[in-house]
Structure 1
């Protein structure tokens, strides 16, 4: 059985894996960072395709376990360290809401914002994974209105996922600014782990740009 500290993390700055780096810092556990320079196409090379044939980050290797797909990585890592308390236990009623928001992100929010960004119609309601964009955003605002977190007073791995996602989608103008969402994003960004990763990723991104000749 793998040691819980034996975590290899495949990451590229300013991507969906940045949130996983924040999660690892929030968990306070050691990990080995494999930084992929996507500007140089390292994620497309055979070495990384052997890890994730989809050539995406994040990916985590833990002993014989290999986890890809953003939400799966969050779920796996948060459950791996229950003593930290970033994931409700299976017997905890809060687990239901936690799982809902972990899955809602990839199944509803991302498809909705990508269609919105590309100015595509969601398709017939019976075929759409998310129904309609306004309903998706309304449910998120509704869940966060009581505050301060998705599970009320309880901070969880789901907040790391959503805080980062809402931050970049509002930053790019895909999701309209909203007082509830703005306050939530700032709350997550103010956490020491988020600030630490933001600084580290900025430095890593600059190094990658210089190495790829795109600085």
Structure 2
């Protein structure tokens, strides 16, 4: 386990076990890097000045690393892949087209479409030009197309994009915000065997029980 309680650790992870911080926990475990966690409460420490100085949004996750602050899950995944290049979690620079495409497709159109669908926000046909994702079914079909023909979202190798996209797919099917399409089920099954994911889930599941 990469988690450390050392106060001198230069990689600090701010999270809550029932949050999008689970995505970043998975990514941290994939890197194998030492990190220190800071657990925050939704209506308490997340809204206090000390944390608002790190993320004025008052939301988790966030990381600090050697004086730098990174928020937003997709950005954190990309950052960690870059600062720990030996992990191979980011493709070579000249091979990053699909990696960037799908990482930010999930951060933009996919998340927006799923959230609006879950909240029963109706987008009329006339409004689809104004909405970056067009409509929910289009997003789902596009993602399914991206997962057909290759085992991972950006090609034949696992990358940080799979952490972010994979979390969306697995959670979406679990909670019913994405359909259980064959492409999604095959992708989720492939990712479920990753030791880093299992380690991350074990940590957060235990912390979640403590929160209860």
- TM-score, normalised relative to structure 2: 0.90
Q: Return the alpha-carbon distance in structure 1 between the equivalents of residues 154 and 129 of structure 2.
A: 30
Please name the residue that 1:175 is paired with.
Answer: 178
Cα shift readout 1:135-179 (whole Å, capped 9, x = no counterpart): 111111111111310122110000011111111111111111111
- Following superposition, the deviation at residue 207 of structure 1 comes to 1.0
Shift of 1:122: 2.8
Q: Distance in 2 between matches of 1:17 and 1:75?
A: 15
* Alignment correspondent of 1:63: 66
Question: 2:203 is matched with which residue?
Answer: 200
Matched, 1:99 2:65: no
Aligned pair partner of 1:131 in 126, 134, 137 = 134
Match of 2:37 in 1: 33
CA distance in 1: counterparts of 2:208 and 2:45, whole angstroms: 14
Secondary structure, in 3 states, of the residue corresponding to 2:128? coil
- Is the contact between residue 13 and residue 63 of structure 2 (CA under 8 Å) also seen in structure 1? yes
Counterpart in 2 of 1:213? none
Q: Where do 5+ consecutive residues of structure 1 fail to align? A: 210-215
User: Partner residue of 1:113?
Assistant: 114
Q: Deviations over 1:50-98 (max 9, x none)?
A: 21110111111011211111111111111111121101232x2x20111
Matched, 1:15 2:19: yes
Inter-partner Cα distance in structure 2 for 1:186 and 1:42? 36
1:102 CA drift (Å): 1.4
Give yes or no for contact 2:45–2:51 (8 Å, CA) kept in 1: yes
Matched positions, count: 202
Aligned residues: CA RMSD: 1.4
Unaligned runs of 5+ in 2: 1-8
Of the three residues 147, 150, 156, the one matched with 1:147 is 150
How many Å separate the matches in 1 of 2:109 and 2:53? 29
- TM-score scaled to structure 1, two decimals? 0.89
